[in-house]
Each structure stands twice: as C-alpha cells, then as structure tokens.
C-alpha cells in the first residue's frame, strides 16, 4: 500500500514540519527549565557563600567540597519535610497560592532570549521559547501575577504575620512596578520595540553599545525597583524576619515552601536577565570593545549574557550583605516620591531627545 493514498505528500511534509517544531519547543522548554532550576539551586548556594564571606564567615562548607552539594541536600530536606497546613487555613487557596507564585515567575523564562538565533538544516532555532513582540509587557504582567500568589498565600494562611506580609508585598510590588515600568519606557523609546531580541539588537547598533549609558537614570531606577520587586533586602518588607517571622510564607513548610523559594529565586534571575537585556546589551558587547579586542567575537554570545546576569545577581547579593532594611514608610516614600517622578522626567527627556534627533535626521 502506498502511503500517498492515505495522506498527500504536502500534508505529510506539513505534519513532519509541525512535529519537528513542537519537538524543538519541548526541547527548548526542557533545556531552559533544567538550566533555570540548576541556576536557582546554585543561586542559593552562592548567595550563602558570598554573603558569608562578606560577613567574614565561610558559608556552607560541610556537604561536598566547600559545600558544593548543599543545594541538593537542601532540596532533599525540603522534599521530605512534613507538609503542615494550619488548622483554619483556607485549604484550596492555600494549596494554589505557591503554584500561582512559582508559575508566574517561571513562565517569564519563556520570553527571555539568550542569544541570536542559529540555523541547523533549514530550521532556524531562536534561543527563546516564545519570541513574542510584547516580551517586556509580558514580563510586567507576570510580575503582577506573582503578587496574587503572595497575597493569596498571606490571606489563606490565617496567620497575622503571613497576612501582614501579604499586604505589604501587594502594596510594595504594585508601587514599584510603576517605577520599573516607567524606567523601561526610556528603553522602549530608544529601541522602538517591546520585543526583547529587538531591544538587544537596537543596543548593538546604538552609539553607546548599551542603554545603560544614555539611560543611566532609568538603569538606576530599574535596579532599585527590581530589588523591591523581588522582595529582597533592603526592601524585604514582606518577609522581614525581625518583624514578620518569614512574612507571607510563614505557615508554609516542606515542598510548598520550596515552591515559594524557587519562585523568588527565579524572579531574581528574571530581573537580572531583564537588566542585562534592556540595559547592558544582552549577549552583545559594545562595538568599542569588540573593535579593540577583535578575537572576543569568537566567544559565543550566551557567555556574555550569562556573565552579565551573574554580575547582576552578585550585585543583588552584595547589597543584601551591605544594607539594612528600610522602614515601611521609607520604602513607600522612595517608590512614590522619588523613583516615579524621576522616571517620568527621564521619559520626558528621552522622548524629547528622540524627537529632536529624528527631526534633524541624526
């Protein structure tokens, strides 16, 4: 029997193509997830190490050489811990909250580009799971979704500490999201696109090589807002240990706690990637470096991307080891009274410069 009698060659071709595309996407998801989770595991390890050394301690040393296997020991411990649900908790919501939180931060991994696309046998593989044109907006939206997880968990725990943590988080994330969004508008104006790959390409073609130089104000605002957005010190009001036990996830234990933990660290990696992509030139290097040292072009772009991300993450550790926590009203004051007006002024100036430059054809 001839296969052409059952299905036309064109249709078969289309099916095969479709199948391969699906396979490629699944492969991408697997790779990104695996690498992402590995990064999370070692982000916790290096956070403890870096902060330890900054405080003249050693950090984890016992599990494996220099404590290198500590993340796996932690994971195992969390996995086998008893799962405690408070007696009067809103059970269903209590179960859903960590999943919402983790999913909202994990889904961001799908729009982060790591490099330019490359071609293997007619198939162009772009190192993004979803190369969407509203990448930047999508990340904002998902950051906003994450608040639901936090807030719901605080509500469902039926505990005053968790509830206060949830409230604080909602207030803080909402206020700082405005500043962060506004700080990135400058980047959008300069790049003329919301697609993250296009933003990187625009930086590569720009005079400065990265937007962090012309958009220095935006970069500083973004950095501060990103720290607040990921609930890290000095803006860790939602989980202020000395005030709220552990904040919104006080009542969570075992694997559910691990989900929150995972979500938080992925959010941190996402914010570092955003800073890298929007301000530091992503996987490209400024032309004035590549022209001075030409052989640097042979290094694959993903290396630069990862190095920039690691530098950003290290910066987060660094300020955590240095700064004490702000008071709650100070956090709100910084957000509303300083960051948002400055970000608006930055947009105005960037816009004006852009208009003048297009008018004179520069």
User: Residue 169, Cα to own-chain centre: how many angstroms?
Assistant: 17
Give the one residue of 30, 31, 58, 303 binding another protein; rule: CB under 8 A.
58
Give the one residue of 319, 332, 344, 353 binding another protein; rule: CB under 8 A.
319
- From CA 151, how far away is CA 163, in angstroms rounded? 8
Give the one residue of 8, 12, 15, 57 binding another protein; rule: CB under 8 A.
57
Number of helices and strands in the chain (H, E) = 14, 2
Residue 226: how many CB atoms within 10 A of its CB?
A: 26
Q: Which stretch binds another protein (CB under 8 A): 3-11, 30-38, 301-309, 319-327?
A: 319-327
Give the one residue of 289, 318, 330, 355 binding another protein; rule: CB under 8 A.
318
- The nearer residue to another protein, 38 or 323, going by C-beta atoms, is 323
* Most distant pair of Cα atoms in the chain: their distance: 78
CB of 286 to another protein, least distance (A): 24
CB of 57 to another protein, least distance (A): 5
CB of 49 to another protein, least distance (A): 10
* Category of 67 on φ-ψ map: left (φ > 0), alpha (ψ -120 to 50) or beta: left
* Category of 254 on φ-ψ map: left (φ > 0), alpha (ψ -120 to 50) or beta: left
Cα–Cα nearest to 211, from 355, 357, 306, 350: 350
Binding mask 60-89 for another protein (x = CB under 8 A): -x----------------------------
Give the one residue of 133, 291, 322, 330 binding another protein; rule: CB under 8 A.
322
Asked if 330 interacts with another protein (CB under 8 A), we say: no
Cα–Cα nearest to 281, from 187, 152, 155: 187
Which stretch of DSSP H or E encloses residue 35? helix 9-54
CB of 338 to another protein, least distance (A): 9
Q: Which stretch binds another protein (CB under 8 A): 5-13, 17-25, 118-126, 317-325?
A: 317-325
Q: State whether residue 67 is helix, strand or coil.
A: helix
Residue 308 is encoded by which pair of tokens? 């920039």
- The nearer residue to another protein, 62 or 121, going by C-beta atoms, is 62
Residue 277: how many CB atoms within 10 A of its CB?
A: 28
Q: Which stretch binds another protein (CB under 8 A): 18-26, 56-64, 122-130, 202-210?
A: 56-64
- The nearer residue to another protein, 156 or 179, going by C-beta atoms, is 179
Could you tell me where the beta strands, DSSP code E, fall in the chain? Answer: 118-120, 123-125
DSSP assignment, residue 258? H
Q: State whether residue 89 is helix, strand or coil.
A: coil
CB of 182 to another protein, least distance (A): 18
- Binding-site residue total for another protein (CB under 8 A)? 14
Asked if 356 interacts with another protein (CB under 8 A), we say: no
- From CA 158, how far away is CA 87, in angstroms rounded? 9
- The nearer residue to another protein, 56 or 92, going by C-beta atoms, is 56
- The nearer residue to another protein, 123 or 318, going by C-beta atoms, is 318
- From CA 94, how far away is CA 83, in angstroms rounded? 12
Question: Which residues contact another protein by CB under 8 A?
Answer: 50, 52-58, 61, 318-319, 321-323
């Amino acid at each position: 029997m001839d296969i052409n009698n059952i299905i036309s060659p064109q249709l078969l071709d289309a099916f095969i193509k479709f199948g391969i595309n699906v396979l490629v996407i699944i492969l991408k998801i697997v790779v990104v997830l695996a690498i992402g989770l590995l990064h999370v595991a070692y982000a916790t390890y290096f956070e403890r190490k870096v902060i330890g050394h900054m405080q003249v301690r050693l950090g984890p040393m016992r599990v494996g050489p220099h404590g290198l296997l500590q993340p796996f020991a932690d994971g195992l411990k969390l996995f086998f811990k008893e799962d405690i649900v408070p007696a009067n908790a809103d059970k269903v919501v209590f179960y859903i909250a960590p999943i919402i939180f983790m999913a909202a931060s994990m889904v961001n991994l799908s729009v982060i580009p790591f490099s330019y696309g490359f071609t293997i046998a007619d198939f162009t593989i772009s190192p993004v799971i979803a190369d969407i044109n509203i990448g930047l907006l999508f990340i904002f939206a998902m950051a906003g979704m994450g608040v639901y997880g936090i807030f719901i968990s605080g509500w469902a725990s039926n505990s005053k500490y968790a509830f206060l943590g949830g409230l604080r988080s909602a207030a803080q994330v909402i206020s700082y999201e405005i500043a962060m969004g506004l700080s990135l508008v400058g980047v959008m104006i300069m790049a003329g696109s919301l697609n993250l790959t296009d933003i990187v390409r625009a930086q590569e073609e720009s005079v400065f090589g990265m937007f962090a130089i012309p958009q220095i104000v935006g970069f500083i605002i973004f950095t501060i807002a990103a720290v607040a957005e990921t609930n890290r010190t000095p803006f860790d009001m939602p989980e202020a240990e000395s005030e709220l036990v552990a904040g919104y996830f006080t009542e969570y234990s075992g694997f559910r706690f691990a989900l929150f933990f995972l979500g938080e660290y992925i959010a941190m990696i996402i914010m570092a990637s955003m800073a890298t992509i929007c301000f530091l030139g992503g996987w490209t290097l400024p032309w004035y470096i590549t022209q001075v040292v030409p052989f640097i072009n042979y290094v694959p772009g993903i290396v630069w991307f990862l190095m920039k991300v690691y530098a950003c993450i290290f910066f987060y550790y660094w300020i955590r080891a240095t700064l004490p926590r702000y008071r709650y009203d100070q956090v709100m004051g910084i957000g509303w009274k300083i960051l948002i007006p400055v970000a608006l002024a930055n947009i105005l100036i960037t816009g004006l410069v852009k208009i003048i430059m297009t008018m004179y054809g520069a």
